[in-house]
Amino acid sequence: MVDIEKANALAVEKFMEARPVAITLAKALEIVPGMHENMLLHAGPPVTFERMSGPTKGAMIGALLFEGKAKNPEEAEKLLKSGKIEFSPCHEHMCAAPMAGVISPSQLVYVIENQTHGIKCYSNLNEGRGKVLRMGAYSEDVLEKLRWMEAVLGPTIKTALEAMGGIDVRAILAKALHSGDDGHNRLDTASLLWTTQLAPYIAKTAKNTETAFEVTKFLGENALSILNPVMAGCKTMTAAGHNIEGSTIVTIMSRNGTDWGIKVSGLGDKWFTAPSPVVKALYFPGFTEKDACPDIGDSVITETAGIGGFAMATAPALVTFVGGEPRDAINTTLDMYEITEGEHKQFTIPFLDFRGTPTGVDIRKVVEKQITPRVNTGVAHKDPGVGQVGAGVVSAPMKCFEDALIAFADKYGYN
Amino acid sequence: MATFKTEVRSGVYYDSAKLMSLQRSLAGLPGVLDAGVVMGTDSNKELLAHIGLDTPEVKATKPDDLAIVIKAENEKAALDALAQVDGLLAARKGGSEQEYQPRSIESATDMLPDAEWVIVSVAGRYATAVTREALRLRKHVHLFSDNVSVENEIELKKEARDLGLLVMGPDCGTAMVDGYGLAFANKIRKGPIGIVAAAGTGLQQVATRIHQLNSGITFGIGTGGRDLKAEVGAITFLMALDVLARDDDTKVIVLTSKPPSPKVAEEVLKVARKAGKPVVVNFIARPITTTRDGNLFFATGLDDAARLAVELAHNPPKLVSDADLPIKKFTAKQKYLRGLFSGGTLAYEAQHILYGYIPRVLANSPINKEFQLPDAFVSQENCIVDLGEDEFTQGRLHPMMDNELRIRRLYEEAKDPEVAVILLDVVIGYGSHPDPASEIAPAIAKCIADAKKDGRHLEVVCVVCGTDEDPQNLNNQMAQLKAAGALVDTSNEVICRYVGRILRALAERDEPKAHALGKPVDLEKIKKPLAAINVGLESFAANLKDQGAPYVQVDWKPPAGGNEKLMNILQKMKSPRK
């Protein structure tokens, strides 16, 4: 007989014990499990080329151009349709990547190690805002930046990280939550802390001062510098709580612009999916909801681990996304306590008397109370190559959780 | 020609007060002739059918669908009205606003850890689960909801009893705690009287009359109208009575109920007799055979109950215990009464009074045929034999003139090792035997002496009906009987009540001990200043706010949006698997 309560407590305990440290970078082909020459990873649950969202298709085209497997977008699209390229979700390869989340074999990826449980997860380098591959852009300037990142940015950070013995991602997040970050949509503080820890070692180990200058400037100017290591770090936390017999805790939430998907600790490798909803967002000038791609990206791994939208109460600057009043931000977090197993031991909220963030979504509570996880997120344009058009909040589709509950009942005999 | 427009919203839930207010607002809009706003339960659909608002869309609704029907002069008016629904629903009445409404009792508990009470007024089909959740969180429950099955009521109350928690309800309109009213309640000052009521307006009537008489209450504990029915067996009532008995601030207890099961009512009174303080009883439709029985005071109505309680609080009565009774003198076998009467009416009155003490007294002329003594010449159990009946007087004189037959029967009864008490009447005056005591007294003395030889105490009691101017002289007759060892009085009622108390004490002596009260309610906790969690009608939260009591309103929705399959799975996952 399974003891659900005990299983859930154990899963969430593992989430919280996990201590992710950024240790180095390496080529995806060399380090990502299951990666091969003709594979492209993408965000969210599995999807066919026909059903792929615009940004995902765009990012795939861009990746093939970057890899040198196609000379132009038409050729790339033809190759993608040919069946010669294998598409696979990042999450099936211990990766998590933002928006389209396309990781190609020769990209450099961060290696984040959960030093409590010895689990390693990976994510690519953040390109900053604007026209970027992760939003489905693949113009020459986008590719140019990617090449610079592979040649200069990545190797420089790698040397610095190795020289300093790694950066404790969890410690940065804990501090950032006390300084107005939610850990997902707002990472201004965390990115600065990341940069200031790296900077001295970059100064010391970079090829030359010009490289040190360029790299430090790029990291310092990008308020999302740390997003990708944070996502891989969060994945090392929730992966530690996955595959616990009898647990109803969600260990993966993710979307690909077409579908929303979740995995549950006690339900193994099965995805539970539903159509991805459109984000309720504030749009950049000139864009409206009609331009928006349905919700996309692996970044909801942060909410899965207990931060992001769940920590809204500690990030009042983000309230414009949820209705405009600080009260609404606090209520968002309070709602999330209704559907989570525990309160985080490492991540706390000063405004709520340092209460831990709501951690470990329990599918039972989601279905019973009909409250789905609230996610803070960016919005991509639905067409490839345009880029980000806004940011806002979205609620996960209930169907994923209801289907998972039924599957749980089938597996464990609660029918 | 009127136009009908219907809107159905699935998986939403609003309490009925909210819907009624929406319905009223819609019906008042320009061009609207009538409006119906209901959840799609069968009974609600019938209601709409009665007023001609049962459109095909309404007929197709399910219990968790919200149906809004507008009957209007024209289509535009109907559509305009429907367009206003969201605005009207969003409009909050002042009074129950709080910054965050938690979605569950559990979260509400985190917000207000001092809350000892949960008020539940959700639709009946959800009320059991909500109550169970409150119990799981160790809260007392005021269960206002109706349409809770009696099976569920019993389960909940038993569960609560094991935890030392009160479930006041279902269908409990009123409760008053610590000077605050829950649900329908009056503002009653604090005072020395505690009330337990299986009667909502009964509680209100008694409490308000107490207030008007310048007194006040400690607690008014409603139990729900079915608590004193045979199936439920007064689970909450007995727990509440126990609370008030232990509460030092409660000087007088009032018990009131809608017509109770007679058996359960007697059970309750049995416990009430041990309360150690005056208890005023008003069970509607329970016949009153006495105004007072020990610490129990029987009122003729709700108002009388209030009056009595106030009076008793002002002038505490001297409470006599059963210590005067010779219970310990009897052997373990001795338990029965044998009443040997010469007077028919006195025999009837004896039966009537004794029924107030013990459930079963046989007789050769019973008030109730069910208690017919099969053979008048052979006594059984407790019995009253009228020797003036035809079966005894054929061919012989009436026992008021001839004592022989009665004395023979007296010897017989006295030999029976199960007999504890023998009751006799002696009626003197013109026409009666010239000196009955001269024959009866020696027989009594012999019976008592023979019993004593046999190691038994025999209690003989006599009522003498006559005057000092009668030829036989009352005082002379009484003196002879007393000298023989009998307890003598001139009042049949006094004698019968004395016998009744003995028989009741003997019956209780032989009963298995300990009434199943479960875990006692923690008195200290429920005497803390009131704080409550409200699930359901927001107006109840507003009441608490108006009274200045801390509260949290829960933003409650049907679990799993009312999806039966999912609800079922969730329920199974909560309880251990078989």
Mapping DSSP onto H, E and C, the string for B271-287 reads HHCCCCCCEEEEECCCC
pLDDT band of residue B17 (cuts 50, 70, 90) is: low
| Residue B398 scores a pLDDT above 70 | yes
Which CATH number is B3-90 given? 3.30.70
Asked if B96 contacts B541 with a C-beta cutoff of 8 angstroms, the reply is yes
Comparing A320-334, A337-351, B197-211, B390-404, the range with the smallest average pLDDT is A320-334
pTM of the model: 0.74
Helix and strand totals (H; E) in chain A: 14, 15
Asked if B521 contacts B27 with a C-beta cutoff of 8 angstroms, the reply is no
- Segments in B373-488 forming alpha helices (H): 390-393, 404-415, 436-453, 474-483
Which residue(s) pair with B298 in the sheet? B281
Please report the pLDDT score of residue B577 as a whole number.
38
- pLDDT, mean of residues B372-388: 93
- Count Cβ–Cβ pairs < 8 Å, chain A vs chain B: 56
CA A132/CA A138 separation, integer angstroms: 7
User: Could you say which of B102, B110, B566 has the minimum Cβ distance to residue A402?
Assistant: B566
pLDDT band of residue B578 (cuts 50, 70, 90) is: very low
**Strands A167-168 and A250-256: what pairing?**
unpaired
Please report the pLDDT score of residue A318 as a whole number.
83
User: Could you say which of A335, A406, A408 has the minimum Cβ distance to residue B103?
Assistant: A335
Asked if A103 contacts A28 with a C-beta cutoff of 8 angstroms, the reply is yes
Comparing A284-293, B132-141, B369-378, B493-502, the range with the smallest average pLDDT is A284-293
pLDDT in tens, A200-238: 999 999 999 999 999 999 999 999 999 999 999 999 999
Q: Is the dihedral of CA B362, B365, B368, B372 positive or negative?
A: positive
The answer for B431, left when phi > 0, alpha when psi is -120 to 50, beta otherwise, is left
Q: Sheet with A108-114: list strands edge to edge.
A: A119-124, A108-114, A20-27, A167-168
- Segments in B93-169 forming alpha helices (H): 105-111, 124-136, 150-163
pLDDT in tens, A279-306: 888 888 888 889 999 999 999 999 999 9
CA A2/CA A21 separation, integer angstroms: 33
B379-403 burial by CB neighbour count: b if 16+ within 10 A, else e?
A: beebbbbbbbbeebeeeeeebbebb
Q: Is the dihedral of CA B323, B326, B328, B333 positive or negative?
A: negative
Asked if B353 contacts B493 with a C-beta cutoff of 8 angstroms, the reply is yes
Tell me the shortest Cα–Cα distance from A297 to chain B, in angstroms.
Answer: 28
Asked if B340 contacts B385 with a C-beta cutoff of 8 angstroms, the reply is yes
Q: Which residue of chain B comes nearest to A369, CA vs CA?
A: B559
CA B403/CA B411 separation, integer angstroms: 12
Please report the pLDDT score of residue B261 as a whole number.
94
Tell me the shortest Cα–Cα distance from A67 to chain B, in angstroms.
Answer: 48
Q: What is the DSSP letter of A381?
A: B
* Unique residue bearing structure tokens 């802390």: A193
* Unique residue bearing structure tokens 């300990």: B514
**Residues of chain A contacting B104 with CB distance shorter than 8 Å:** 338, 369
Contacts (Cβ under 8 Å, ≥6 apart) of B221: B166, B168, B175, B194, B195, B196, B197, B236, B240, B243, B244
B170-188 burial by CB neighbour count: b if 16+ within 10 A, else e?
A: bbbbbbbbbbbbbbbbeeb
Please report the pLDDT score of residue B458 as a whole number.
95
**Secondary structure of residue B305 in the 3-state scheme:** helix
Please answer yes or no on whether B107 and A334 come within 8 Å at the CB atom. Answer: yes
Q: What is the mean pLDDT of chain B?
A: 90
Q: What is the DSSP letter of B293?
A: E
Q: What are the residue ranges of CATH 3.90.1700.10 in chain A? A: 245-412
Please report the pLDDT score of residue B98 as a whole number.
66
CA A98/CA A300 separation, integer angstroms: 9
The pair of structure tokens assigned to A370 is 């009909």
Q: What is the mean pLDDT of chain A?
A: 95
Percent of all residues in chain A with a pLDDT value above 70, rounded to a whole number:
99
User: Could you say which of A335, A368, A406 has the minimum Cβ distance to residue B559?
Assistant: A368
Please report the pLDDT score of residue A22 as a whole number.
98
- pLDDT, mean of residues A343-358: 93
pLDDT band of residue B93 (cuts 50, 70, 90) is: very low
> What's the one-letter identity of residue B26?
L
Nearest CA-CA partner of B307 in B327, B290, B291:
B291
Percent of all residues in chain B with a pLDDT value above 70, rounded to a whole number:
96
Please report the pLDDT score of residue B571 as a whole number.
84
Contacts (Cβ under 8 Å, ≥6 apart) of A260: A44, A45, A253, A254, A273, A274, A275, A276, A277, A295, A396, A397, A400
Please answer yes or no on whether B569 and A405 come within 8 Å at the CB atom. Answer: yes
Q: Phi and psi for B353 in degrees, rounded to 5?
A: -70, -40
Compute how many other C-beta atoms are within 10 angstroms of the C-beta atom of residue A56. 30
Nearest CA-CA partner of A414 in B154, B576, B234, B373:
B576
Q: Which residue of chain A comes nearest to B559, CA vs CA?
A: A368
Tell me the shortest Cα–Cα distance from A174 to chain B, in angstroms.
Answer: 24
More confident call, A320 vs B74: B74
**A188-205 and A227-240 are packed helices; what angle lies between their axes, rounded to 10 degrees?**
110
CA B357/CA B334 separation, integer angstroms: 17
The pair of structure tokens assigned to B7 is 């809107």
Let me know if the fold of B112-314 is the same as that of B324-510: yes
Please answer yes or no on whether B577 and A414 come within 8 Å at the CB atom. Answer: yes
CA B269/CA B290 separation, integer angstroms: 13
| Residue B1 scores a pLDDT above 80 | no
Q: Does residue B286 sit at the A interface (CB-CB below 8 Å)?
A: no
CA B555/CA B42 separation, integer angstroms: 25
pLDDT in tens, B508-562: 887 766 556 678 999 988 888 889 999 999 889 988 888 888 999 999 988 888 8
| Residue A132 scores a pLDDT above 60 | yes
- Segments in B430-520 forming alpha helices (H): 436-453, 474-483, 492-510
Query: ipTM of the assembly?
Result: 0.86
Largest CA distance in chain B: 103
Fold of B112-314: Rossmann fold (3.40.50)
**Secondary structure of residue A218 in the 3-state scheme:** helix
Please report the pLDDT score of residue B16 as a whole number.
67
| Residue B439 scores a pLDDT above 80 | yes
**Secondary structure of residue A260 in the 3-state scheme:** strand
User: Could you say which of B102, B104, B569 has the minimum Cβ distance to residue A414?
Assistant: B569
Please report the pLDDT score of residue B407 as a whole number.
94
pLDDT in tens, B98-154: 678 899 998 899 889 889 999 999 999 899 999 999 999 999 999 999 999 999 999
> What's the one-letter identity of residue B313?
A
CA A257/CA A43 separation, integer angstroms: 9
Enumerate the domain spans of chain B. 3-90, 112-314, 324-510
CA A261/CA A248 separation, integer angstroms: 15
| Residue B576 scores a pLDDT above 60 | no
| Residue B485 scores a pLDDT above 90 | yes
Fold of B324-510: Rossmann fold (3.40.50)
User: How far apart, in Å, are the Cα atoms of A381 and each of A66, A136, A257, A295, B567?
Assistant: 21, 8, 10, 10, 39
pLDDT in tens, B290-343: 899 889 999 999 999 999 999 999 999 988 777 778 889 999 999 999 999 999
Q: Does residue B112 sit at the A interface (CB-CB below 8 Å)?
A: no
Nearest CA-CA partner of A249 in A117, A364, A415, A344:
A364
Which CATH number is A245-412 given? 3.90.1700.10
Q: Which residue of chain B comes nearest to A4, CA vs CA?
A: B573
**Residues of chain B contacting A406 with CB distance shorter than 8 Å:** 565-566, 569
pLDDT in tens, B324-339: 788 899 999 999 999 9
Q: Is the dihedral of CA B44, B50, B53, B57 positive or negative?
A: positive
Please report the pLDDT score of residue B575 as a whole number.
58
H/E element, A125: none
Substitution target from A343, A369, A395 for chain B, most B beta carbons within 10 A: A369
Fold of A18-231: Enterococcus faecalis V583 fold (3.90.1710)
Nearest CA-CA partner of B107 in A331, A304, A311:
A331
Please answer yes or no on whether B577 and A413 come within 8 Å at the CB atom. Answer: yes
| Residue A407 scores a pLDDT above 80 | yes
pLDDT in tens, A230-280: 999 999 999 999 999 999 999 999 999 999 999 999 999 999 999 999 988
Substitution target from B12, B104, B578 for chain A, most A beta carbons within 10 A: B104
| Residue B96 scores a pLDDT above 80 | no
User: How far apart, in Å, are the Cα atoms of B526 and each of B179, B220, B427?
Assistant: 12, 12, 57
Please report the pLDDT score of residue B95 as a whole number.
35
**Secondary structure of residue A380 in the 3-state scheme:** strand
DSSP states along A200-211: HHHHHHSSSHHH
**Residues of chain B contacting A248 with CB distance shorter than 8 Å:** 573
Contacts (Cβ under 8 Å, ≥6 apart) of A268: A243
Q: What are the residue ranges of CATH 3.90.1710.10 in chain A? A: 18-231
**Residues of chain B contacting A400 with CB distance shorter than 8 Å:** none
